[in-house]
Amino acid sequence: MRSGALARSEAVASRPIVVAHRYEVIGEIARGGCGAVYEAIDLDHGQLVALKILTSGTMDRAAAARFERESRVAGAIHHPNVCAVTDSGTLEDGSPFLVMERLYGETLRTYFARMGRLDPDQAIELAVQMLSGLEAAHALGIVHRDMKPENVFIVHRKGSLPLVKLLDFGMCRRKTSHRVDDHTLTRVGTVVGTPEYMAPEQASGLRDFDLRIDLYAVGVILYEMLTGTRAFYGADARAVLVSVLARQLPSVRALRPEVPVVLDRIVARAVERDPRARYFSAAEMQHDLLNARTAFRRQRAVRAQARAQVPVKAEWEMPTLQSQPRFSRPARTRTGEGW
């Protein structure tokens, strides 16, 4: 089965399309530069899954083999905050595919556009869940390398907090070449990332980087959640790269003074240019965020209690009954016929 044939057949679907003799395609969910994601039924288990098929033209044989190895590793991450990968393989034309759990919700990027900047409590909750998923990945030696709002999926749950699911653990690799790709600003196939969320050592093309590039990216995302503005920007990808390498970020409180000082300091540490000055693990950053949230909630409760203990008398409030003048009934006079 060919991936191109899969795309063409959707318009003239005369018979069910089945991938790997197991996954019956229902329809397209999303499409990007590397391929497309389809909704499908796992015929073996009778459940809906997401089927991601990468375009063979964007990957050479070595990159495809690397993709398959990484998909197997990603499948080993069993964590509520990581999108589960249950299967992988290749089509007849060599196009790799992944089978993932079917998620319903929206990416953090879409959530940003709809909600604007977030309440500190909400921003902390989302960041804590991101770090929880990253901690599980890092424990297996997996560095995401492309943390960004598009790879953070928000699953909305009725009566409960949103659930974060991390997507695409370095899976979208481009064909190896010596040109510089405008999307990644790296030698294609050597460094994966998106300019706005790449740590300086990653953006400069250095090979010597570790899991702290993921923590840096979470710091940038947290900065944007709290301020409602992009941390780094430019007219094109290269201008963004210059901004990442040279721009000194204003503090969160400079843009939003009501954000607690402790939260401002956490973000500042996460986005330090020097990796040695950043958090050294997802667990450490998560610990500080949880403590900040506890302090933030306690302060908010104290302020609410203080407001509740100060009665405010409305201007229109009626006087109490005791303050109203008393009116006496006129005295009756007795006549010969009675009262």
As a whole number, the mean pLDDT across the chain is 81
pLDDT at 5 over 80: no
Higher pLDDT among residues 337 and 50, named by residue: 50
pLDDT at 187 over 50: no
pLDDT of residue 95: 83
The model's pLDDT over 244-296, given as tens digits with 9 standing for 90+, comes to 998 889 999 999 999 999 999 999 999 999 999 999 999 999 999 999 999 88
pLDDT of residue 59: 62
pLDDT of residue 323: 47
pLDDT of residue 185: 39
pLDDT at 36 over 70: yes
- Encoded amino acid at 326, one letter: R
Residues 1, 24: Cα–Cα separation, whole Å: 12
Residues 205, 225: Cα–Cα separation, whole Å: 27
In the chain the domains, ranked by start, together with CATH numbers, are 1-102 (3.30.200.20), 103-304 (1.10.510.10)
CB atoms near residue 314 (< 10 Å): 6
CB 213 within 8 A of CB 279: no
Tokens 């010969």 appear where?
Answer: 336
CB atoms near residue 162 (< 10 Å): 18
Catalytic residues: 146
Integer CA distances (angstroms), 80 to 49, 101, 125, 168, in order: 16, 11, 14, 15
Burial of 271 (0-12, 13-18, 19+ CB in 10 A): buried
**Exposed e or buried b per residue across 22-41, where buried means at least 16 C-beta atoms within 10 angstroms of its C-beta:** bbebeeeeeeeebbbbbbbb
Summarize the confidence of residues 161-190 as an average pLDDT: 56
